[in-house]
Structure formats: structure tokens, C-alpha cells
């Protein structure tokens, strides 16, 4: 463990869980919330009873909606807002980051998604607004509900340099929170984004009551789609068999903590996309990433039939049973094109 002065930007469930973890590790933590109302509630109750009940923020964790105060004299900045808010938040941060003296502070991105218009991954969005920064990415199978209870969790940090990866690793590492390092930031972020889209499909399978066989097939073919696109974009194949690929995909497809799976279940039960979002009551990243994932598949000429059908269900009103039928009745293929007779 390395004791640092850390800003956690975003007071959602993941932000609260990571602020709790970093404080427990001995770092001095400031948690930034978007509005004063959220700040006052968290200061008073030291808990978000709606998003993360039972996770109590220590009195040593400072909570503020003042971005300048949140970033002042920090060694590390951890961004935990939803992917759709990353660009906006970086713009808010920009005036308080001095190019002359602050280039050595590490930015840890925890948002999982693809920017809809630019098709940028989150690290690219951050660098687009804050060029030259030392950006890293933290990802893996890690529900905030379990991290905040101190349950065993293992994740991975990707970085441009081993030195930065190890610094982030040391800041978060604990007996019940194991952190690996990787140089493949792109692969990690692709896995983190696409697993949410596949989890929507897995939820649909559950909502339809199609059973374990269908769920296992969906997860297996989902990782094949994720790795195909990731490798085409320049990621490493090995990353997709790791924590940010298969690991995160399994937990997101299997757990009721997963808002993407929950939204998918509702879609499988006949709800519309808007009705599912309303019932989940939290940001469903897979919906935000689905259209961007399909555009990337077209750009890199990569076959992604599950992602294609999820888009048809979400945005074209396709019946979920028809979508499954389309997938099941596609032309017969070899399972792995890398294997030869």
C-alpha cells in the first residue's frame, strides 16, 4: 500500500467504494460530488442509502462539490463518473491542473464506455481534453457493493508505463483487494466497454427464461466478439482471457448487482428500453456503448452478431425472441478461425 493524497471525482456507488478503499489503505481522500445537495447528504449521513447502503465513509474523507478544492495538492485523481460524463468532468478539471507543475500526477480512469460521437475510449477522451497527462485505467470484475464490504476482489490497472501502473497498484492493493498490472490499456478498455453490451444480451436470455445452456453460449460467443474487435483495434488477445475481459464479462452477465444484466432481464420480459432504464434507476452503460460498438465493428470490418442484435432490440424495436432466433439460425461456422484442420 502507498499512502497518497487522492481526489475521487464522482460520488456514485463506484466512487464511494473506491474512496472507502483508498481511505482504508491510509491515503488522504477527497470525494467530489456534482452538486451541493449530494455533498450535504453525504457529509451528514456518511452513506448513500440508495446507491450503496451499508458502506460508511470515514470522517477523514473530505466531501466537496468544489472542483478546485478537490484537486488541490493531489498526487492522484480517480475518475469514477459514468462514461457519458467523462468529457464534461475533464473540462471542469482543466482550469485547476497546471501544465507546468502537475504533469506528474496520475489520472486513474474507472469509467467503462465508448464516446458515442467520436468513438473514443475513455482514456482518449481524457487525453483529448487534458493532453499530455499520465492516464491509467482501472478495470475488472468489481461490483461496488462487494468492494465496499471488503469482499475479496481482483482487478487490473493498465498504464503507459510500468512505473505508473505499479504506483496505482500500490495505492489500491490490500489483503482483500488484489491489483494486477498490464501494458494493454486499449484491450482493457475495449473489454470494459463491450462486456456491458454482452451483459444486456445475457439479461435478455435470463428474462426470456432460456436457461443455463443459452447463457453459457452467450458469454462464450460474447468474449469471441470482444476479442475480435479488440485485436482488430490493436489490443492483445491475451487481455480478453484476463480480468478485464472474461473476468468482467462473467461477473456482469451473472450478477444481479449488474445494472446491465438487470436492464436486459427487463427487456427479455417485454419492457421497452426506456421502461428498463426507468426501472433500473441507474446509468446503464451497455445502452450507451451498444451503438458505438456497432460503429466500431463496421469501421474495423469485424463480425459482431450479438452486438448487432442488441442494437436492433434497443433502437429498432426488434422482438427479443426474433433476435435470438436470428442468432441461432445463422449459417454454420467453425468455432475458432485460428484453428486449422
Active site residue ranges: 195
C-alpha pair distances (Å), 43 with each of 32, 167, 219, 267: 12, 29, 41, 37
What gap in Å lies between CA 241 and CA 227, rounded to an integer? 9
CB distance 160 to 135 below 8 Å: yes
Other beta carbons within 10 Å of 241: 13
Element (H, E) at 182: strand 177-182
What gap in Å lies between CA 83 and CA 187, rounded to an integer? 17
CB distance 268 to 184 below 8 Å: no
| Residue 135 exposure: Cα atoms within 13 Å on the Cβ side | 22
Count how many residues are written for the chain.
Answer: 341
CB distance 25 to 119 below 8 Å: no
Find how far residue 296's CA is from the centre of its chain: 18
Amino acid at each position: 500500500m502507498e499512502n497518497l493524497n487522492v481526489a475521487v471525482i464522482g460520488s456514485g456507488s463506484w466512487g464511494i467504494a473506491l474512496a472507502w478503499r483508498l481511505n482504508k489503505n491510509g491515503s488522504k481522500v477527497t470525494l467530489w460530488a456534482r452538486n451541493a445537495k449530494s455533498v450535504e447528504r453525504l457529509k451528514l449521513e456518511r452513506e448513500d442509502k440508495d446507491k450503496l447502503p451499508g458502506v460508511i465513509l470515514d470522517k477523514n474523507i473530505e466531501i466537496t462539490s468544489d472542483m478546485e478544492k478537490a484537486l488541490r495538492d493531489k498526487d492522484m485523481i480517480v475518475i469514477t463518473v459514468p462514461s457519458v460524463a467523462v468529457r464534461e468532468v475533464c473540462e471542469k478539471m482543466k482550469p485547476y491542473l497546471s501544465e507546468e507543475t502537475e504533469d506528474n500526477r496520475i489520472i486513474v480512469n474507472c469509467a467503462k464506455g465508448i464516446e458515442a460521437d467520436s468513438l473514443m475510449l475513455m482514456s482518449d477522451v481524457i487525453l483529448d481534453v487534458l493532453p499530455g497527462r499520465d492516464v491509467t485505467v482501472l478495470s475488472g470484475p468489481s461490483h461496488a457493493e462487494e468492494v465496499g464490504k471488503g469482499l475479496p476482489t481482483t482487478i487490473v490497472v493498465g498504464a503507459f508505463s510500468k512505473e505508473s501502473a505499479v504506483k496505482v497498484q500500490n495505492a489500491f492493493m490490500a489483503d482483500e483487494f488484489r491489483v494486477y498490472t498490464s501494458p494493454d490499456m486499449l484491450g482493457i478498455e475495449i473489454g470494459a466497454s463491450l462486456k456491458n453490451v454482452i451483459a444486456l444480451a445475457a439479461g435478455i436470455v435470463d428474462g426470456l427464461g432460456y436457461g443455463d445452456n443459452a447463457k453459457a453460449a452467450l458469454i462464450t460467443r460474447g468474449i469471441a466478439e470482444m476479442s475480435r474487435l479488440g485485436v482488430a483495434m490493436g489490443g492483445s488477445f491475451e487481455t480478453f482471457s484476463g480480468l478485464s475481459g472474461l473476468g468482467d464479462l462473467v461477473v456482469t452477465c451473472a450478477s444481479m448487482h449488474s445494472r446491465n444484466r438487470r436492464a436486459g432481464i427487463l427487456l427479455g420480459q417485454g419492457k421497452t428500453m426506456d421502461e428498463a432504464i426507468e426501472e433500473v434507476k441507474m446509468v446503464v452503460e451497455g445502452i450507451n456503448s451498444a451503438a458505438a460498438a456497432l460503429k466500431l465493428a463496421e469501421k474495423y470490418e469485424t463480425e459482431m452478431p450479438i452486438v448487432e442484435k442488441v442494437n436492433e432490440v434497443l433502437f429498432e424495436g426488434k422482438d427479443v425472441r426474433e433476435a435470438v432466433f436470428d442468432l441461432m439460425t445463422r449459417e454454420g461456422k467453425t468455432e475458432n478461425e485460428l484453428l486449422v484442420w
